[in-house]
Structure 1
Amino acid sequence: MNQFGISLYLGTGYEKNKEIIEKAKRANLGYAFTSLHIPEESVENYAEEVKRLLDLCKRCSISLIVDIGPRTLQKLGYRRFEELKQTSISHLRVDYGFTYEQIIDLSKSFQIVFNASTLLEKDIRELQKRNADFTRFSACHNFYPKPLTGLSIAKTRSINDNLRQLGMTTMAFVAGDKELRGPLKMGLPTVEAHRRADVLLSMLQLIKDCHTDICIVGDIDISDKAWENVGKLSQGYVSLKADIDPAYRFITNRIHHDRPDSSEYVIRSQESRAYASQGRLFPAQAVKPRIRGSISVSNEGYLRYSGELEIARRDLEPEPKVNIVGQIDEASLPYLDYITDGMGFELIQS
């Protein structure tokens, strides 16, 4: 299952970071990204503030992905990187200043995170020559504060596919929709198309279109609705608002799962086949148009398939053997293409 995270910045302040970490814990997010060598992050008592943040993450079971440089230890008051194992730091993102031997040695204690966009083929070859364990390596894309500088979905997917073939975990960022990080405050996505996009849709696209393992919010905070959606996604399902016939509202407020052998035409609920065995009857109703987002239940004309719940991913021909029992709200329609391969969904009456 995919995993999710937030970003923490010292300049945000301890109290705000505490609030965000607590929200992340409630939403079942397991990771936080932070950088310990951003030039504009000038705070008093730097080492003390970093340790407070590390302690807070540890108490909330948040694993930290830390962007470091060779001088990080000195700034924090540690002598050896191995001392950081006692903290909440689980991942070290190394951009420069480390030898291959140092990286391999550190990977025995930490997950090592490379810059996905700048990791060179020669670096991969050198690590392979030294018998490095690539399952101890991850690759994290940059986020792009300046508009029109982010990656395309196709390029992100291509990079991720190459890295995953080596055994590496991939990470990327989505922009927030509430409190954007300065100085530009124009979103911090990896993919340019996500700069002003819905947080949930951006994460679904990172997962399904870009083959990303860990999705991280790059900005400071997201809206309450986005927190709710991301929390559900972290549990493996998506909520879909819909207008549903009162006689069929027994299909709402429960988790369904698309079949693992997904259809490109419809989402098929694995659980709904049990409705008929529970004694429910589904006599045929008047044939209605079957447009994208139509919610249907197979009627008795489909024999042993009677009771199966489907949601149309696209406009389909009218079907006498299914009863149209509802319609997905327009705001939820974009999610339909990404509920695949066993992903869960919940229907909420709008």
Structure 2
Amino acid sequence: MDGISVFLNQDMSPEQEEYIRQAHRSGFTGIFSSLHIPEDDASKYKERLRTLGTLAKERSMKLMIDISTNALEKAGFSLEEVEELNTLGVTGLRMDDGISNQTIAELTHQIEIGLNASTITADDLQELQELGADFSKIEAWHNYYPRPETGLDAEWFAAKNQWLKQYFRVTAFISGDGERRGPLKRGLPTLEQHRDVHPLFASWELKNQGYCDDCYIGDPRIRACTMQQWQQFSLEKKVILAVHKVSDRCRSMILRPHQNRQDEARDVIRSADARFRAIEAILPENTVTRQVGAVTVDNQKYQRYMGEIQIAKRTLPADEKVNVAAEVCQEDLPLLNLITAGVSFELVEKKETNSLGVNK
């Protein structure tokens, strides 16, 4: 499961509603929010949560709310009346460390519970079992870390999750690459190494190397182009790569869908059928060093390999038989890791956008 974050520090705008709709269309099935945001007029929490809950219910999206006893009461709710939260569309509560295991155990029979994945111990699990908690209603949720240098270590994270997965689903956060939450605006990742990397790659790495089940974007937004990439990969397992410095002579050859060969190469991604298409003679051009992300086309000096299209996964030397025809944009380079054997990918020319992700 993938999810987004929607915070309650302001009224729901039409742009925010459209973002939620777009996220749902792109394969996101969960929303995370928090009642920890300071707000003088506590009544605004309830109305904003009602609006968010309605949007979530309309799309059958999970809605997990981060709470503490004080924040919940300030917003006009109570742990003794969880049914009201259910009615609003809240499907789960991520519990603050200050809430007792006794209360948590009782709540598991009324609503889904998220425990702090980073701090839960074996003693906590034993106590919850003794208190009769319904473990089928419990998940383990990691924190996000707004301050640089405080995110979790990847090896510790993976080891912790291997233990947690014996009992629960595990959820973690990644940074967004659009609007970032203040005041620091340095991203909201669980792992420090993911603070400024492509969100789709960070999600893939959490699940494939971090033993994580679910991934939520901690920040308020991702870019429109990232949302498109997420949709293609989550729904079709197709990787969209933005490229620039495209050769006019090779434009039609490379700006199209491709598929990596099933016999995966060490050094390059190989377009499976490229050289078997009918093409004219390809003359040597721009036969320079192939940096990581270089999109190449074999020229006529490679004889029967002429027309083969590759993407360099590591720096390779210049070859008079290989033209460098484009370059994968820097921010998309991590996505090369997603293109394993048989995975489809498409090369699209990068377009300049404004801060809202709208083409100029």
TM-score (structure 2 length as normaliser): 0.72
TM-aligned CA distance change 1:328 to 1:50, over 3 Å: same
What's 2:93 paired with?
Answer: 92
What's 1:12 paired with?
Answer: 10
- The answer to whether structure 1 residue 347 and structure 2 residue 347 are counterparts is yes
What's 1:51 paired with?
Answer: 50
How far 1:93 sits from its partner (Å)? 2.0
- 8 Å CA contact 2:188–2:195 kept in 1: the answer is yes
TM-aligned CA distance change 1:275 to 1:263, over 3 Å: closer
Note the 1:93-112 alignment, pairs <5 A.
Answer: 93-95=94-96, 96-99=99-102, 101-102=105-106, 104-106=108-110, 110=112, 112=113
What's 2:333 paired with?
Answer: 334
- 8 Å CA contact 2:27–2:234 kept in 1: the answer is yes
What's 1:155 paired with?
Answer: 156
How far 1:54 sits from its partner (Å)? 0.6
TM-aligned CA distance change 1:331 to 1:11, over 3 Å: same
How far 1:84 sits from its partner (Å)? 4.8
Q: Secondary structure of the residue that 1:11 maps to in structure 2?
A: coil
TM-aligned CA distance change 1:76 to 1:307, over 3 Å: farther
What's 2:181 paired with?
Answer: 181
- 8 Å CA contact 1:273–1:306 kept in 2: the answer is no
Q: Which string of whole-angstrom CA distances, capped at 9 and with x for unpartnered residues, describes residues 71-99 of structure 1?
A: 74993378654565555333332343343
What's 1:314 paired with?
Answer: 314
TM-aligned CA distance change 1:77 to 1:129, over 3 Å: closer
What's 1:267 paired with?
Answer: 269
Note the 1:217-256 alignment, pairs <5 A.
Answer: 217-235=217-235, 236=237, 237-242=239-244, 243-244=246-247, 246-247=249-250, 249-254=252-257, 256=258
2 CA distance for matches of 1:102 and 1:21?
32
Gaps of 5+ in 2: 351-360
Q: Secondary structure of the residue that 2:173 maps to in structure 1?
A: strand
Q: Secondary structure of the residue that 1:52 maps to in structure 2?
A: helix
- 8 Å CA contact 2:200–2:335 kept in 1: the answer is no
1 CA distance for matches of 2:283 and 2:63?
55
TM-aligned CA distance change 1:238 to 1:158, over 3 Å: farther
What's 2:61 paired with?
Answer: 62
Q: Secondary structure of the residue that 2:325 maps to in structure 1?
A: strand
What amino acid sits opposite 2:58 in the alignment? R
1 CA distance for matches of 2:282 and 2:180?
52
- The answer to whether structure 1 residue 142 and structure 2 residue 143 are counterparts is yes
2 CA distance for matches of 1:168 and 1:262?
34
- 8 Å CA contact 1:244–1:349 kept in 2: the answer is no
Q: Which string of whole-angstrom CA distances, capped at 9 and with x for unpartnered residues, describes residues 105-162 of structure 1?
A: 34xx63x322121111223455678998866543221111233222133333333333
What's 1:76 paired with?
Answer: 77
- 8 Å CA contact 1:273–1:307 kept in 2: the answer is no
2 CA distance for matches of 1:302 and 1:161?
50
TM-aligned CA distance change 1:230 to 1:105, over 3 Å: same
- 8 Å CA contact 2:26–2:234 kept in 1: the answer is yes
Q: Which string of whole-angstrom CA distances, capped at 9 and with x for unpartnered residues, describes residues 20-70 of structure 1?
A: 42342354422110123x151444424333222211222244321222446
How far 1:229 sits from its partner (Å)? 3.9
1 CA distance for matches of 2:281 and 2:56?
55
2 CA distance for matches of 1:81 and 1:316?
60
Give the percent of matched residue pairs that are identical in Structure 1 and Structure 2: 30
TM-aligned CA distance change 1:258 to 1:84, over 3 Å: farther
- 8 Å CA contact 1:294–1:324 kept in 2: the answer is no
- The answer to whether structure 1 residue 192 and structure 2 residue 214 are counterparts is no
- 8 Å CA contact 2:201–2:335 kept in 1: the answer is no
Gaps of 5+ in 1: none
What's 2:119 paired with?
Answer: 118
1 CA distance for matches of 2:182 and 2:279?
58
How far 1:9 sits from its partner (Å)? 1.7
2 CA distance for matches of 1:258 and 1:297?
15
2 CA distance for matches of 1:149 and 1:310?
39
Note the 1:12-31 alignment, pairs <5 A.
Answer: 12-15=10-13, 17-31=16-30
Q: Secondary structure of the residue that 1:89 maps to in structure 2?
A: coil
